[in-house]
Chains A and B, each alone.
Chain A
């Protein structure tokens, strides 16, 4: 138990990195996922094909493989570099992997949301002469996004948990820090585990509640 209090600043630092990973990847994934969803409903078959292929490939690949590819493939072999500092560079590479992976799930959520928008809405938009882009941007997406707040919350919670996989390329977020502490405090494995588990509960449970509340509050009244 004492170990938990002694290492409290280290643990806090680790969770702060987890939060930063989540926010950065979440934002990127939201942007990329929305673009992908737009591609998947576009009038051009070739764009639809690219979007579908991306989603099916990424969704069926283990995230660990994606992250390892980003870290070792992009980072070591192809010399993709975001920073001279090695740890910052791996941080960004893991953010790329996490957002590329999560974007596929965001895309599917938004696409499901587009299907909840009543036919008449898009038909009315077309009737007053809106183009595909205007239709999507002004009429369909605002309603679709409000319909998928709860599923997007689930995607975000999955992302919070998935950030732990950045440990595969040595990003010292919560799970890797927990492993390090296990090694240095072999006698306090149980309290350290429950400390970190509590940390994740504090991150995931309120996120779930917040998104449930938001989805009710912002639901489109029909």
Chain B
């Protein structure tokens, strides 16, 4: 008399990376063992995941918001790695790779958007780009930050790398220490200097 209740499986994150379908964990293990080429293999996977996540979480997004890029990176970590093997060092190494990917994503996005503003794509902006508006900082254009970071790298590559890890990867100081092999004091000092330097560059005389 009563039809059986049919459960429907909905394929959800179809545009997200299936953790089991790639060898992220294996690559990460090689990365931890000091195989630098592993980072190059991991980068595209992470890049794709981050793009998908940013789009998924905030697809209807219109204006800027305070969601940090690092939250998305962390989310990617949880999705790709945490379930399988979540040692503290693997997290640090993953985030280090992800920080590069995130930085690239933000810059690509900002460039596209700026092009659109100049009339290049007009109304045809894609959802993904609108989503990424979320993750931009309140007042700073990602391309400006990128340019400033590049200038910082001319003065201290180490400081620029630490900023990249902290800002785009969301690594803690301890994680930066783990990934870079630098001392804690050095990382702390560099981070303080780099922040002051970048703020001066980005905010100019407004301070």
| A is bound by B | no
The interface of chain A, by Cβ under 8 A from chain B, is none
The interface of chain B, by Cβ under 8 A from chain A, is none
